[in-house]
Structure 1
């Protein structure tokens, strides 16, 4: 489909999560870094499935603060360990996304990012994968009360780009992105191609999301009018 041009957009703005929606960063970077911090700070470990489940609900920050009871200093320690890991490893992009996103932008679409990664990491990964540069990025540097799942990123995207909720599509692999989209009335598509689609995540997302996309090719099919 991506070889065709001049389609009429159904979705004027894609708001993309980054980790495990665009790049394969949790298995390659985030989870190993988290385990190192967990061992240092609590002398214990966690399975990949449990880690994903906590990130799904209640969310990464809530896992650190409310479940692991990390102090603010320990949270900063964990962040520093993640930044060290992210600085030396560039994760792979999911197959098909470069072509899909370039064609989307060529047809007038806007790309924004709402993520718990850092802006510099997001931009580096986009450049390394040959992806179009996002119009707006809402990253971990946002104040705690404005990070996903808070709807701030979507509210600001609509304000800055002068768009209505129905003109956006939020794409994420986990529940915090869904919660943010739901709060704003923005359609939501689950990145079902993600490595994070363990059974509890997949079952919830298939039940509640507007779209459950098993492949990146399925994303392209919903961006344009018939």
Structure 2
């Protein structure tokens, strides 16, 4: 086993959340609140990557009451629509767990939906999940989740691999001296794809799930 612990992001890294759930949820939540959903799917992906709260609060200037109603309608869609995993991710996760590895998730999605998605895709639930419920100050890029995982399992940084589609996950890994891989397979917007590639730094940039599988199957360079 190359790494004792895989630390995976969820949305658009393991699960195709934005095209399958988040964008339809955005459309339906806006419509249910009497608002016009003006973003195309590509535009939504760009805003989601930057942070939807900024778009809703700063650009649309929606008040707190409207934001609460939107959030309620948004997650009502999540309740009945599990996310499909990208082809190949199930095999990577299953192989790692079968070999006795730890699987942790660090995400800004609610924990209950992450657990539901793993079950619906025929997998055991992750060992540890740091989700939306975590104190905001401890969200990525804070090093807190990785530090907690290493302390819990008595692991060294070289024994973990972080896989994430956003730079905040890479910054979290960098702060702890942990190897990271940028997941490029869920990036539909070319400018986001190119920006990540240019700013990957020491992190691996993987365009396809198959590249992650290949990387995990290679012998580990113990000089890292």
TM-score over 0.5 for the alignment? yes
Aligned to 1:5: none
Contact 2:8 2:162 in 1 (8 A): yes
Aligned to 1:117: 109
Aligned to 1:147: 139
Aligned with 2:208 (options 201, 215, 219) = 215
Residue 71 (structure 1) shift: 4.4
56 and 185 in structure 1: CA distance in 2 versus 1, 3 angstrom threshold: farther
198 and 143 in structure 1: CA distance in 2 versus 1, 3 angstrom threshold: same
3-state DSSP of counterpart to 1:222: helix
3-state DSSP of counterpart to 2:142: coil
For the residues of structure 1 that align with 2:20 and 2:173, how far apart are their CA atoms?
Answer: 27
Residue 100 (structure 1) shift: 1.6
Where does the alignment leave 5 or more consecutive residues of structure 1 unmatched? 1-8
> RMSD of the TM alignment (CA)?
2.3
Contact 1:16 1:112 in 2 (8 A): yes
Q: How does 1:79-158 map to 2 (within 5 A)?
A: 79-158=71-150
Mapped pair 1:206 → 2:201: no
Aligned to 1:178: 170
Where does the alignment leave 5 or more consecutive residues of structure 2 unmatched? 220-224
For the residues of structure 2 that align with 1:70 and 1:176, how far apart are their CA atoms?
Answer: 26
Residue 70 (structure 1) shift: 4.5
For the residues of structure 1 that align with 2:85 and 2:69, how far apart are their CA atoms?
Answer: 27
Contact 1:10 1:224 in 2 (8 A): yes
3-state DSSP of counterpart to 2:162: strand
Aligned to 1:55: 48
140 and 25 in structure 1: CA distance in 2 versus 1, 3 angstrom threshold: same
- TM-score, normalization by structure 1: 0.83
For the residues of structure 2 that align with 1:185 and 1:60, how far apart are their CA atoms?
Answer: 30
Aligned with 1:22 (options 4, 14, 25) = 14
Aligned to 1:189: 181
Aligned length: 216
27 and 44 in structure 1: CA distance in 2 versus 1, 3 angstrom threshold: closer
- TM-score, normalization by structure 2: 0.84
For the residues of structure 1 that align with 2:138 and 2:61, how far apart are their CA atoms?
Answer: 21
126 and 108 in structure 1: CA distance in 2 versus 1, 3 angstrom threshold: same
